[in-house]
Amino acid sequence: MRSDEQYMRMALEIAKAGIGQTSPNPVVGAVVVKDGEVVGLGAHLKAGEPHAEVHAIRMAGEKAKGATVYVTLEPCSHYGKTPPCADLLIETGVRRVVIATTDPNPLVAGKGIAKLQKAGIEVQLGVMKEEADELNRVFFHYIATKTPFVTLKYASSLDGKIATSTGESKWITSEAAREDVHRYRAVHDAILVGVNTVIADNPSLTVRLPEGGKNPIRIVLDTHLRTPLDANVIRDGTAETWIVVGSEVSGEKKKRYENEKVQIISLGTPYIDIKELLRVLGEKRVTSLFVEGGSHVHDSFIQAGAVNEIVAYFAPKIIGGKQAPTPIGGVGFANMADVMELQIRQVERIGPDIKIVAIPNNK
Ligand SMILES: Nc1c(/N=C/[C@H](O)[C@H](O)[C@H](O)COP(=O)(O)O)[nH]c(=O)[nH]c1=O
Ligand SMILES: Nc1c(N[C@@H]2O[C@H](COP(=O)(O)O)[C@@H](O)[C@H]2O)[nH]c(=O)[nH]c1=O
Ligand SMILES: [Zn+2]
């Protein structure tokens, strides 16, 4: 007989099967236990498909009656694209439901739990809550703000340079670190770079992993529409590309860029306001955004207070040179009292490089 924590840990592991696949839904895992035996398990794998509880209850069949169900998110109680899980659990006649964390979605928030309790089902809340909240930090952020969870990524030399003074940057970090970056791309709804990065690197911003992986939407911040017409992001047709421009760009210039994979997003202002951009992206169901540079774009996200996580890679190389660019350019903070403060969540070695993950303190 395992403890509640052990079964919830199992459900959390199973939930991870859906990472990067379920947007705009959360990832959820469920485990059904009857007389100390695991009789069913399930994960939510894609928005619109059955929820984790449905898969687990189906697998348990008759044994679900009188069973205990461990689920990493409060069972839903609304009719979305799928019928409510709370009702299914009640109809199935489960005895007890152990939930890691409540669902902040206003359609659910506490209603699922109330429904279960009203039907006489014993409900236990908060088992492995920390881990469950961390697992769905993107979904919870999106539900709360209707804007994408923003991860800012850069790669630099040990002396903090993202390119040489002549603009060369291939490569700073190793294959292993760059593959790690592609894993981040594969689980994001969209990836964003500034037009200077497009001009300097002509990046494809696609996912090239041995195991494959879907390509995020490619977003280019390009106030005056200077993206070269023959750039990969325009020509290669391997992923959708949205170019964000200011209001002064003429209609006929925009037409030259648009094709079935490329669209121009024109914000109402001459310059790109990051907060407004995130609101528009949120409306377009972008729940997670991976900002890959360059230094001016990074600074504008930081100045807008719009960064939820920073992933920084440092290579054991010295580039030097006063003119060589650093990860965060733009205006920066003039006074130490105003700098962006973070807490470091992860430090690890990747091949010859190191990777640091940090989150803003105010979060
Ligand atoms: N130059 C380096 C990076 N450079 C990242 C650039 O901003 C740009 O995203 C890349 O050139 C992307 O190319 P593509 O999309 O893969 O074709 N990023 C890294 O992690 N390490 C480096 O050494
Ligand atoms: N994925 C998931 C839940 N997701 C909840 O349901 C909402 C999506 O509902 P629908 O449109 O029907 O897929 C989503 O926003 C979140 O609040 N709930 C659960 O009980 N179990 C699951 O596995
Ligand atoms: Zn559900």
CATH code of residue 116: 3.40.140.10
Cα dihedral across residues 167, 170, 172, 173: positive or negative:
positive
Nearest CA owner, ligand 1 atom 19: 155
Whether 42 and 111 share a structural domain: yes
| pLDDT tens, residue by residue, 113-170 | 999 999 999 999 999 999 999 999 999 999 999 999 999 999 999 999 999 999 999 9
> At a CB cut-off of 8 Å and minimum separation 6, what does 215 contact?
185, 206, 207, 238, 239
Q: Which residues line the annotated binding site for Zn(2+)?
A: 51, 76, 85
Based on C-alpha coordinates, what's the Rg of the chain?
A: 23
Whether 262 and 328 share a structural domain: yes
CATH number, domain with residue 183: 3.40.430.10
Give the integer Cα–Cα distance in Å for 132 and 101. 6
Give the integer Cα–Cα distance in Å for 103 and 94. 20
Residues in a beta bridge with 191: 218, 290
User: Residue 154: which H helix or E strand, with range?
Assistant: strand 149-157
Give the integer Cα–Cα distance in Å for 287 and 190. 8
pLDDT at 105: 86
Residue 206 CA, closest ligand 1 atom number: 15
Among 105, 121, 140, residue at a domain's last position:
140
- The ligand 1 site (C-beta within 6 Å) comprises 155, 169-173, 177-178, 181, 193, 197, 201, 203-205, 292-293, 313
Contact 324, 163 (CB under 8 A): yes
Nearest CA owner, ligand 1 atom 8: 203
Residue 112 CA, closest ligand 2 atom number: 20
Give the integer Cα–Cα distance in Å for 302 and 222. 18
Nearest CA owner, ligand 1 atom 10: 203
Contact 86, 75 (CB under 8 A): yes
Whether 154 and 109 share a structural domain: no
- Name the residue among 32, 24, 27, 34 with its Cα closest to residue 12: 27
Q: Which residues line the annotated binding site for NADP(+)?
A: 155, 169, 171, 197, 201, 223, 294-300
pLDDT at 76: 95
Q: What residue ranges in 189-285 does DSSP mark as E strands?
A: 190-194, 217-221, 241-245, 262-266
> At a CB cut-off of 8 Å and minimum separation 6, what does 93 contact?
64, 65, 66
| pLDDT tens, residue by residue, 129-143 | 999 999 999 999 999
Q: Ligand 2, from 51, 71, 105: best to mutate by most atoms within 8 Å of Cβ?
A: 51
Whether 128 and 201 share a structural domain: no
pLDDT tens, the chain, 363 aa long: 789 999 999 999 999 999 999 999 999 999 999 999 999 999 999 999 999 999 999 999 999 999 999 999 999 998 877 789 999 999 999 999 999 999 988 888 889 999 999 999 999 999 999 999 999 999 999 999 999 999 999 999 999 999 999 999 999 999 999 999 999 999 999 999 999 999 999 999 999 999 999 999 999 999 999 999 999 999 999 999 999 999 999 999 999 999 889 999 999 899 999 999 999 999 999 999 999 999 999 999 999 999 999 999 999 999 999 999 999 999 999 999 999 999 999 999 999 999 999 999 974
Nearest CA owner, ligand 2 atom 18: 76
Which amino acid, 239?
Answer: A
**Which domain range does residue 329 map to?**
146-360
- The ligand 2 site (C-beta within 6 Å) comprises 25-26, 28, 44, 47, 51-53, 73, 75-76, 80-82, 85, 103, 105, 108
For ligand 3, a single-atom ion, which residues have Cβ within 5 Å? 51, 76, 85
Give the integer Cα–Cα distance in Å for 254 and 263. 9
Whether 134 and 48 share a structural domain: yes
Whether 190 and 330 share a structural domain: yes
Q: Ligand 1, from 169, 208, 241: best to mutate by most atoms within 8 Å of Cβ?
A: 169
How much distance in Å is there from the Cα of 83 to the middle of ligand 3?
7
Whether 167 and 200 share a structural domain: yes
- ipTM value, please give it: 0.85
pLDDT at 162: 96
Whether 212 and 294 share a structural domain: yes
Whether 214 and 325 share a structural domain: yes
Q: How many domains does the chain have?
A: 2
Whether 100 and 205 share a structural domain: no
The pTM (predicted TM-score) of the whole model is 0.92
Whether 192 and 126 share a structural domain: no
Whether 184 and 73 share a structural domain: no
**Annotated catalytic sites, by residue?**
53
Which amino acid, 299?
Answer: D
Among 123, 140, 157, residue at a domain's last position:
140
